[in-house]
Amino acid sequence: MEALLEILKGLHPEVDFETCDTLVDDKILDSFDIITIITEINTEYDVAVPAEEIIPENFNSAEALYDLVERLQDED
Amino acid sequence: MQTNVLEYLEQTVFQVQDKVAFANESEGVTFAEVYRNARSIGTFLNRRGYTREPVVVFMQKHPKTIVTFFGVVYSGSYYVPIDEEMPKHRIELIFKSLNPRAIICDEVTEEMVKEFVYAGQVYRYEQMIQTEPDEDMLGDIRRQAIDTDPVYIVFTSGSTGVPKGVMACHRSVIDYIESLSDVLEFNRETVFGNQTPLYFDACLKELYPTLKFGAATYLIPKSLFMFPVKLVEFLNEHKINTICWVVSALTMISAFKAFDKVKPEYLHTVAFGSEVFPIKQFKIWRETLPQVKFTNLYGPTEATGMCCYFKVDRDFEPDEVIPIGGPFRNTEILLLNEQGQEAKPGEPGEICVRGTSVTLGYYRNPEKTAEAFVQNPLNTAYPEVIYRTGDIGRRNARGELLFISRKDYQIKHMGHRIELGEIEVVVNQMDEIKSACCIFDDDKKKIVLYYVGEVTAVEVAVYLKERLPRYMIPNVIRVLHTMPLTPNGKINRVLLKQKYMNQQ
């Protein structure tokens, strides 16, 4: 989780990612951020996010994103 | 002879009255409604004395916004689209050069305007379309108009910190739409999926051909460009067959393997531009959709959208670039070397545009206009203005034009044209900042800001978000103790860039 928060903070240092659960709904993340997050998750956790998992529900909060990472790691 | 862009609408409206012209995910306007409401808006504005002046359209992306553009043109004025997500500070900068007397808003932006320093009138779409179109008035406006009158002003990044307003006239827009339509073979069956914002010239590609052919345009919600599978599903749901997108929107689909899940079923024409298409990603598109015609487009806002095209007719190796090809009909590209002479075959030169597509210049900015809109140095016989793009190009052995690089610190980021200097000017306005320099990481496509000053990166980010559009916010912000300088005392950009790239 720490590493994921690092990635997110790198994109928007002023956002409280530990509590915010409307990252997509409130347009905090844009398409560039999504691309960056997926690329960096791949480097950090060695998981590839498949296209069908790139949906708003998985990116609305750091927690949802972390769940996704864990789920993808389990599938490996 | 066509002299006004609205003739496109007038020539087709009675053939396709009930067809939807412009739509988003939930609503649309028919050609009959576009025609009726645009003339209502024209009548409303002209009756209140607005003509031959900039009228700001400050609305969210919506079919009504497009109708409003045409309404402003009917009134004899020219429209100035403003991004509703742009920070207040930047809009006020634009207003300072524009000094508009009228702004057209929707329910959301009407509230935002109340916060601005602005003394003129605010009108709403719903209010204006109540007016009955006045045929005599609209006829008089048209008779007094000529094809070198402006259609719009769009604002683009300026290195001095102040955005520049590029003005294009009817003749340039018509020239562009005719040439583009020939190249991409638009017709009445064309269904566009619009990606680009309405506040840039990029959307000309969809708006005017839709009128010309009685075609249709769907405005794709911006949020879908984060979610590739949903995006392709949207294309299929609305039977979209033609897209003119920035490269980053296309690569988002291919890089995340969305084609493994769903493929565009109706697509037959893909035009792309504004950035270099990585060959690896391009191959995925071409192999997935072998029936699709791909065209690379190139051109600056100052030459009315696009001025060069290349129909992709062969495969490219990963280390090659897709050419920008050659100019549209009625346009010439000159490659000029530093002496103002034509570059020799194979030699690099600055890409300069000659033709009707060259726009009128920058609004109320004679200095910047004079720098870029210059007398053709190859012509000493009579006045002839060409536009110097600042892009460096060369011709390959096949005679095709290739884009090489920029002469200055302008970059392309997510399809947006950005002057790094404009970001630096804003950073330097922060009291605590002693020195600032932006570089661009070409590999990872990130804007990197280095600064010296007693302030945290978070504070810098917050400050910038209040003043710059989000696509101009640096993706990486780093503090330095001292700024590296060149022997001449200028910031050493080359060293900073090397330092950054070595850390990656």
How many residue pairs from chains A and B have C-beta atoms closer than 8 A?
58
* Best to test chain A binding among B83, B220, B227 (most A CBs inside 10 Å): B227
Per the structure, the complete domain to which residue A33 belongs is given by 2-75
| CA atoms in the 13 A half-sphere facing the CB of B461 | 18
- B473 in contact with A at a CB cutoff of 8 Å? no
CB proximity under 8 Å: B 439-468 to A: 457-458, 461-462, 465
* CATH 3.40.50.12780-classified regions of chain B: 6-219
CA distances from A30 to A24, A27, B114, B249, B480 (A): 8, 6, 27, 12, 28
- B257 in contact with A at a CB cutoff of 8 Å? yes
Radius of gyration of chain B (CA): 23
Mean local confidence (pLDDT), B26-32: 97
Q: Which residue of B has its CA nearest to A28?
A: B470
Asked if the Cβ–Cβ distance from B414 to A32 is below 8 Å, we say: yes
* Best to test chain A binding among B246, B256, B451 (most A CBs inside 10 Å): B256
Using CB atoms, pick whichever of A14, A24, A31 lies closest to residue B458: A14
Nearest to B458 by CA among B482, B479, B434, B431: B479
What is residue A66's predicted lDDT score, i.e. its pLDDT?
Answer: 95
Using CB atoms, pick whichever of B226, B261, B470 lies closest to residue A34: B226
How many angstroms away from the CA of A31 is the closest CA of chain B? 5
CA distances from B447 to A36, B29, B87 (A): 13, 39, 19
Per-residue confidence at B86, pLDDT binned at 50, 70, 90?
confident
Nearest to B242 by CA among B297, B293, B178: B293
Mean local confidence (pLDDT), B136-147: 98
- B397 in contact with A at a CB cutoff of 8 Å? no
In chain B, which residues have their Cβ closer than 8 Å to the Cβ of A34? Answer: 226-227
The answer to whether the CB of B450 falls within 8 A of the CB of B435 is no
Q: Which CATH number fits domain B411-503: 3.40.140.10, 3.30.300.30, 3.40.50.2300, 2.60.40.10?
A: 3.30.300.30
Q: Which residue of A has its CA nearest to B471?
A: A32
In chain A, which residues have their Cβ closer than 8 Å to the Cβ of B257? Answer: 50-51
What is residue B299's predicted lDDT score, i.e. its pLDDT?
Answer: 95
What is residue B274's predicted lDDT score, i.e. its pLDDT?
Answer: 77
What is residue B504's predicted lDDT score, i.e. its pLDDT?
Answer: 77
Mean local confidence (pLDDT), B174-195: 98
Q: Is B421 helix (H, G, I), strand (E, B) or coil?
A: helix
* CATH 2.30.38.10-classified regions of chain B: 328-406
Tokens of B465: 């978000």
* CATH 3.30.300.30-classified regions of chain B: 411-503
In chain A, which residues have their Cβ closer than 8 Å to the Cβ of B471? Answer: 32
CATH of the domain at A51: 1.10.1200.10
Q: Is the predicted pLDDT of residue B18 greater than 80, yes or no?
A: yes
Asked if the Cβ–Cβ distance from B476 to A10 is below 8 Å, we say: yes
Per-residue pLDDT of chain A (76 residues; tens, 9 = 90+): 899 999 999 889 889 999 999 999 999 999 889 988 998 999 899 999 999 999 999 999 999 999 999 999 998 6
- The number of residues in chain B equals 504
ipTM confidence: 0.89
Q: Which residue of B has its CA nearest to A58?
A: B227
Instruction: Name the fold adopted by B328-406.
Output: Luciferase; domain 3 (2.30.38)
Instruction: Name the fold adopted by B6-219.
Output: Rossmann fold (3.40.50)
What is residue B124's predicted lDDT score, i.e. its pLDDT?
Answer: 98
How much of chain B, in percent, has pLDDT values that exceed 70? 100
Q: Which residue of A has its CA nearest to B414?
A: A32
- Helix, strand, coil shares of chain A as percentages rounded to 5? 60, 0, 40
Number of domain units in chain A:
1
CB proximity under 8 Å: B 10-39 to A: none
Nearest to B175 by CA among B145, B195, B204, B143: B204
What is residue B415's predicted lDDT score, i.e. its pLDDT?
Answer: 85
* Best to test chain B binding among A6, A22, A30, A58 (most B CBs inside 10 Å): A30
Report pLDDT digits (tens) over B377-415.
Answer: 999 999 999 999 999 999 999 999 999 988 888 999 988
Which pTM value belongs to this model? 0.93
